[in-house]
Chains A and B, each alone.
Chain A
Amino acid sequence: MFIKRTLLSTAVSFGLVAGMTSAAMAEEITIATVNNADMIVMQELAPQWEQATGNTINWVVLEENVLRQRTTQDIATNGGSFDIMFIGAYEAPIWGANGWLTPLDDFADDPDYDLEDIFQLVRNGLSADGKLYAVPLYSETSFTFYRTDLFEAAGIEAPTGQPTYTEFAEMAAKLHDPDNSVYGTCQRGKAGWGENMAFVGTLANAFGARWFDMEWNPQLDSPEWNAAITYYVDLMTNYGPPGASGNGHNENRALFKDGKCATWVDATSAANDVRNPETSSVADVTDFFQAPKQETDKGTGWFWSWALAIPASSQKADTAKDFLKWATSKEYFEMVGETKGWVAVPSGTRASVHEDPRLLKAAPFAETIKNAIFSVDPADPTRDPVPYTGVQFVAIPEFQGIGNYVGQQVAAALAGQQSVEQALANSQQFAVREMTKAGYIK
């Protein structure tokens, strides 16, 4: 009887242990992400990782601004709601330096992962104090989309090198044909540090402007900023579509794809979509050249990267790391190419992907994107020296507020509600107040 009972209890405890081990191995992770094409592809392919590992994924999909607010709130309060967060090149260094993210330096020890294959520039953008805090899914810069048919009809030769903004305005003037609903140029006008200020920031860089001097004094009332914003308002008023101050990336993308814009300086990541005959009416007549320069060619194309990071508050960091490796591995990009077509492969992160002949065949402009990305240096973004990193943004927590405010002022100037001088005077005043409050300047 006794033996029987002992045997039974031993069997039960073995069973329990076995059950617990398998439960411990199969984990459930929660990923917070945005709703863009590359992430939707990842969601569609992720079941393969789930099957291979036995783990499950909960996806929390939010709009970019809501996601940023939601993840910031969770990570700043150590809430632990998410195991993986989709973050940008702006958050990664700031959050990393705050100790909010799990360092991913050990990825370098995995030869299969081949961390060195990811562009150094992109890794730098996602690191703080020499430690890597996020791994990139895709990176983008900005370049000029243009309509080859309209250029030909107007007798303009497309620039082979980097044109100046003066030349760009001349082209826009010749191409502008509002009677036939074709506008010389479409640029972002909707206020926001990630909207109009992305383009305006690079334009300002080209005109030799900078956000702050080496002592963190705001420079928004400088003649360079004035020249840049005056150029922007004139360009958009004369050769832009009506209501340009309400157009963001999406609106311009739709206008361009609908054949309403002759030129558009925007994200390289939109190239796949614009060149896709199924979604665009101008797929065959669109080509690209570098974003224009003016006083300088520094910081004329922006740098942005969407990357995956693990909050320090996650209890399942090992499983999360496993997923991160899978989702940014060479095999993953290969899988996207094979299942979704090579034109859909996220670009701008891995050298091996950019050398792949299948990609170069499906997306000949991938080379232009790579060259554009390599011409950007977030650590040296302006003509005059600056204390910050970031091309179209300044990697300090205060920038969101300042960038949004300046964006609103610029949008108001574009809508004709105030003068350029007034917009920049307000911006300068606001920036000085914020930077003083934050203790950068006395």
Chain B
Amino acid sequence: MARAISTKAKVTNTAIAGTLGFLMFIPILWILILAFKTEEDAIRAPLEILFGSGWTTDSFGTVQARSDYFKHFSNSVIISVGSTFLGLLIAIPAAWSMAFVPSKHTKNVLMWMLSTKMLPPVGVLVPIYLVFRDFNLLDTRLGLTIVLMLINLPIIIWMLYTYFKEIPGEILEAARMDGASLRDEVIYVLTPMAIPGMASTVLLNIILAWNEAFWTINLTAANAAPLTAFIASYSSPEGLFYAKLSAASIMAIAPILIMGWFSLKQLVRGLTFGAVK
């Protein structure tokens, strides 16, 4: 039976959640405000910025005129989507085997995969840079797709493993008894049941790859640079740049924000899937 929750508690909880949500949203809101100000207004005191200055879309125009937004945008899409789906190709079989035919080393393998996330990326920057140089992968979309896939692979496998664990093995057994091959079992039985989990895995990893700034800035120059490099090019230690930087940031995060907004339900459902049992 569900617990009875009083109206007062509901109101309090909603207020707390609303306040916390707003606090987290403030930085984005502030970027949004600065993006529509002139450079001179953007460095004024916060209250003057809010109430004592006009609005303009000049920064967006300047940013688009100075750098090619769509090139960076398409690089971001190719790299984030590419790395996620490449990751899925490897992760689905890996998670399947660990969830349904575990060996005594499965737990260790999972921990080992997670441990690769504990290494500070800068520690392997020079070796990876040298490997990339020798394979002519520097400043290529293929190179970045591979690196981001490798970086996010542990997370993809872990997420899928958790979702697959929730699916009763008996259903797969039943499919097998009906004569389904391994391929049919994965494609027609397992995948449809795991779709909410896989959808949230895909979404989360696209977001992670989209926002990844260390490797994307360090391994690219002009051709494969995604939106993270686009934002970075508007930061400067000299001169006025806050409005343009904010406009560039808004242009860079808008697509992923909109995508996240539309898939919010799917994302929440996937992320909480299994947690309540």
Contact = CB atoms under 8 A, between A and B. Distances in A.
Contacts of B239: 35-37, 250, 253, 273
Given A35-B236, A37-B239, A70-B218, A78 B223 contact: no
B222 A60 contact: yes
Contacts of B218: 70, 73
A81 B66 contact: no
B40 to A, nearest CB: 7
A321 interface: no
Contacts of A253: 239
Interface stretch (A61-69, A95-103, A345-353, A395-403): A61-69
B241 interface: yes
Contact of A77 (B67, B126, B234, B241): B126
Interface string B216-229: 01100111010001
Interface in A236-251: 248-250
Contacts of B238: 34, 36-37, 64, 249-250, 269-270
A186 to B, nearest CB: 14
A424 interface: no
Interface residues of A, number: 37
Contacts of A82: 221
A61 B126 contact: no
Contacts of B232: 61-63, 66
Interface in B97-122: none
B235 interface: yes
A30 B236 contact: no
Interface residues of B, number: 29
Contact of A73 (B44, B126, B235): B126
A436 interface: no
Interface in B116-151: 125-126, 129-130, 133, 138-139
A134 interface: no
Contacts of A78: 133
Contact of A40 (B66, B138, B217, B237): B66
Given A30-B222, A62-B233, A63-B235, A77 B240 contact: no
A279 B240 contact: yes
30 contacts: A34-B236, A35-B233, A37-B238, A37-B239, A40-B66, A43-B66, A59-B222, A60-B225, A60-B229, A61-B67, A61-B232, A61-B233, A62-B229, A66-B232, A73-B126, A73-B129, A77-B126, A77-B133, A78-B133, A80-B138, A81-B138, A81-B139, A248-B237, A249-B237, A250-B238, A253-B239, A254-B240, A270-B238, A273-B239, A279-B40
